Each structure stands twice: as structure tokens, then as C-alpha cells.
Amino acid sequence: MQEFLFSATTPDGRTVHERIEAANLDQARYILEIRKYRAIEFLTDEHGADIRRAARSGVTIPKIDPSLWTAEDEVASRRRRGLAEKLVWAFRQHALIFAVLAGWVVLVLHNGPPYRAFAWTGFILLPLYFLWFVRLVLPLTLFQLILEASVWHEWKRLRRLIGFVRFLKKFLTTAIPDKELDIREAASLAAEGRLADGLKLVEKYRGHPDVAEYLYLTRLSGIYDAAGEYDRVVALLEEAAAKGPGGVSEWIDLAMARIRRKHDAAGARAALQNIEGREVPALAQAFRLIVEGMIAGEEKDDLRAYEYFRTGVEKLQATGGSPLLQGVVAEARAGLAISLARLGRKDAARSILAKERPLLEARKETGLLARCDSAIGVVGS
């Protein structure tokens, strides 16, 4: 049995976030419908357990009491955007203690010297607690910076951050697994023409007991994507989809690779046919809509492409807060701009492209940018 996170409307009309145990998503939906839940939307899928096992491999993560980390808490955590929002949330969890210690110090300073033991205790405790808080949020901060550097293809900065985390791990326990650091570094090396070095870095995870084969293949495809070897990307994702746990995400990943990198609309449609009639969780559905937009755009069905892109981006932004989604959003909005331009709405297309161009240029999506400029009619395109 697996545990799935979902949102739904209860029989008495309340919107809730809860968890349910079932063999798969289809069974989970059946159980919830029997209980008369409505507007059911799943936020995790069949590979969630495999991802958690891989993420926890080699790191010490204390078991969380479900009563202290509810489904509502998990959903809120998933939807927090950017490092600033995450740090503000973390600070709020400690705000009461900071307020008490700060009040203690302010009171002592107001009374003035001479400062006795009570006063010096406050002077010492406030900075010590602040340092302990920094220790708590430092891994989160570094990991967010690593993800942002990865999205913007700032490869040298990425490797500096990874090097600092590895140094830090010699002295402090963090929840950042070595596997994640190695895969991110491998992609950066591949992007700079050192594919063999990148592959050597991650080879040790092939067949690892904590890393499901299909997950390894999926992450390996990202390294080949960074190297620009798109035929290999598609082949690896085909293998991952065949060896996956029977969910939908692997087929959507394959469809996206076929349409995004090979402009193979027929192949992308063939991949999506494998999930017809299946339960599709919220995040995967957002990706599916964007893939459908890419297919429609490739076929120059611009009205359909516009609707798919618009809905997919809205759903993606509402569902997840990971920095990694920024690249997908930028490409989807660029596709939206192309469709708008071909529909005669070139001013709107220019506005969208102006916002997304810096990230697309950083990611070297030159082909996509050229198609945008051609559709909009940019001089020199």
C-alpha cells in the first residue's frame, strides 16, 4: 500500500487536504468517491515512495510525527515560492522565542548598567539562538541556491555551491543527499562538454538499492539533455517509462522530450496514449497540458495551443513552488507567445517574450527564441 496526498471537497462542503493509503491512484479515487468526496485532485503519485527513499539515502532525516506535520502543512510547503518565502516561513516558526529573547535584551538595556548575571544571560542567549537558527536554515538556503543556479545554467556558481555543501557536510548533518549533488554537478559538466566526467560521477548510483532503476534512468536523461544528446535522452526516457511503477509521470516526461527536443508530434501523442483513462495527479496534469500545447503548436493549431499553454502554466504555478519549474514555465510561455503572434496578437506576444527572454537566453534555448522572433517579426530574426 502507498500513501497519497490529495485535496478534495468533503460531503459537507469543506475543502480539505488529506492523505490516503491505497494500492494506486485509481484505487484511491475509488475509495474517496465511495466516501462521497468531490473535486478530488491528487498531489502525489505512484513514484512518490521511490523518490522519498532515494532522497533519504545516505542522510539522517528524523521521522516526522503526522500530527505535527499534517497534510495541510505538506501542501503549504510544496507551494512556497522562492527562498525568501521559505525563510520567512521558517522565521515565523521561531518568532515567539526570538521575541522573548529580544524583549529580554531590550528590557535590560532600558534599565541600563550595571549588568548582572540575568542581563548577561539574555545578551548571550539571543545571538546563540540566532546562530542556531542560521544552522537550521543554512541547508535549505544552499539547496535553493543550487536549484536556482541549475535553472539559470550558472554552472560554475553551481559547482562552487556544491563544493561548499560538501565541505559543510564534513561538520554538519544536512538533509541534502550526495546523490543530488553528484547529479547536479554531472549535468553542469555535461553542459560544458565534459559528459564522460559527468557520467563517471553518477555511475555509482546505477543499481543502488535505494535508487529505483527508472528514477536513475530519468535523472541520467537529464545529464544527456544538458549535453545536447537528445536521441539518447528519448531512449533513456522510453526505458524509464517501460520500467516505471505503472504511473503516468514517466510517459509524460517521454512525451515532453519527444516534442520539445525532437519536434515529434506523433511520437509525443503516442506516449500520451499510454495514460489515457488513467488518474493523473495535479503536477503531472500541468505538465501534460503544456505537452499538449507544444504538440498543438508544432501542428500550428494555435487556438488549442494557446488554451493548453495558458491552462498548463496556471496549473503549474498554482501546484508547485520549486525553482526547477521556472524553466518549464519560460518555455511554455514562449510557446504561448508564438501562438499569440500567429493569431495576430503580436503586442501581447512581445510582452510575454520580453519577460521570459533572459532565462531562455541563459538556458541557451536559441532554437525556441528564433521561432519566437520569427513569429513575432523581430528585426534580424
The partner residues of 20 in beta bridges, in order of sequence, read 4
pTM: predicted TM-score of the whole model, two decimal places? 0.89
d(CA 318, CA 41): 13
Q: Judge whether 177-280 and 283-381 match in fold.
A: yes
Tens place of pLDDT per residue across the chain (381 aa): 888 999 999 999 999 999 999 988 999 999 999 999 999 999 988 887 888 888 887 776 666 666 677 888 888 888 887 788 888 989 999 999 999 999 989 988 888 888 888 888 889 999 999 999 999 999 889 999 999 999 999 999 999 999 999 999 888 877 788 999 999 999 999 999 999 999 999 999 999 999 999 999 999 999 999 999 999 999 999 999 999 887 899 999 999 999 999 999 999 999 999 999 889 999 999 999 999 999 999 999 999 999 999 999 999 988 777 888 999 999 999 999 999 999 999 999 999 999 999 999 999 999 999 999 999 986 444
Q: Is 50 left (phi over 0), alpha (psi -120 to 50) or beta?
A: alpha
Q: Are 271 and 244 in contact (CB under 8 A)?
A: no
Torsion angle, CA of 244/245/251/257, rounded to 10 degrees? -40
What is the C-alpha to C-alpha distance for residues 320 and 120, in angstroms, rounded to an integer?
45
Q: Are 50 and 212 in contact (CB under 8 A)?
A: yes
CATH number for domain 177-280, candidates 3.40.50.300, 1.25.40.10, 3.100.10.20, 3.40.50.620 = 1.25.40.10
* Side chain identity at residue 355, one-letter code: K
CB within 8 Å of 117: residues ≥ 6 apart: none
Please count the other Cβ atoms lying within 10 Å of the Cβ belonging to residue 243.
Answer: 14
Residue 355 belongs to what H/E stretch? Answer: helix 346-362
In the block, cell 541534502 appears at: 176
Rounded Cα distance, 272 and 60, in Å: 38
Query: What cell numbers appear for 302 in the block?
Result: 494555435
Rounded Cα–Cα distance for residues 346 and 41 (Å): 36
Q: Which CATH architecture has domain 283-381?
A: Alpha Horseshoe (1.25)
Return phi, psi of residue 280, to 5°: -115, 115
Q: Give yes or no for a contact between 322 and 86, defined as CB atoms under 8 angstroms apart.
A: no
**In the chain, where the domains are located:** 2-79, 83-174, 177-280, 283-381
**What is d(CA 6, CA 37) in angstroms, rounded to the nearest whole number?**
11
